[in-house]
A = this chain, B = another copy of it.
Amino acid sequence: MFRRLIESLEVLGPLTSGEREAVESLGAVSRPFAPGAELVAEGDAPAHCRLLLEGQAFRHRTLADGRRQIMSFHTPGDMIDLEGLFLPMDHGLTALTAGEVLHLPHARLLDLMDSHPRVGRRFWTMTLKDAAIFREWILNIGRRTAYVRIAHLFCEVVVRLQRAGLVDNGRCAFPITQQHLSDATGLSAVHTNRTLQALRGEGLLSLRGGELVVLDWPGLQAAGEFDSSYLHLRESAA
């Protein structure tokens, strides 16, 4: 049950057996969810953090008039509301697929991190990596064209799904609608549709029936001006 979490924590280097045991003895409850389920609502002040065990989810905020902005996508192994440990949620999290989350009580988490500072740092680092991704999105939306922007987003998603072991020969489940894509890139649905056709036309990818297939990975990276270093995939530190 804690495999995903331990793996995420150990990206920065192995934990001691004591640390691993401490993590595994967090009183945790696993909960299934359905596609479209609201995992965390805007304004919530949750009493536990959620670890995404299986499935995909996204972070978003909606304006009064209905315009929506997606701020990140999440894959298994991600803590999706760690910030809720200290701040009320200023955005929501919604399930993209069916899946499962593990609920980790705040009190237990805080105790764990107090007694195992190194583990605390790993959790902190997770939120720092999320922040790095937010910054990349600011750049992506602020300074790149629709074509590059969408390609870049797909690159990121594929790399992160790959890291979670969910890409098989360029194919992965990624059941977003074009509306989701628009809301993530700050574009209109119509223009997203046309830009997607261009990407398909270049033979870079296919997206049908909830399945994303990368047909030309170098080409897609080039189209997205993608450099994965902001994902900090294998940093050593602390």
Interface residues in chain A, defined as those with a beta carbon under 8 Å from any beta carbon in chain B:
12, 59, 61, 63, 67-69, 71, 83, 85-88, 90-91, 110, 113-114, 117, 120-121, 124-125, 127-132, 134-139, 141-143, 185-186, 225, 229-230, 232, 235, 237-238
Classify the secondary structure of A's interface with B: helix
Q: For the complex, what is the distance from the CA of A225 to the CA of B69, rounded to whole Å?
A: 15
Q: B69, A237: Cβ atoms under 8 Å?
A: no
- Cβ A238 vs Cβ B129 within 8 A: no
* Number of copies of this chain that the complex holds: 2
A-B contact pairs, 12 of them (CB 8 A): A69-B143, A71-B135, A83-B128, A85-B237, A85-B238, A86-B237, A88-B232, A91-B135, A113-B117, A117-B120, A134-B134, A141-B141
- B141 with A131: CB separation less than 8 A: no
> In the complex, what distance in Å separates the CA atom of A119 from the CA atom of B208?
49
Chain B residues within an 8 Å CB radius of A235: 86-88
A127–B152 CA distance with the chains assembled, in angstroms: 25
Q: Give Cα A201 to B231, complex, Å.
A: 43
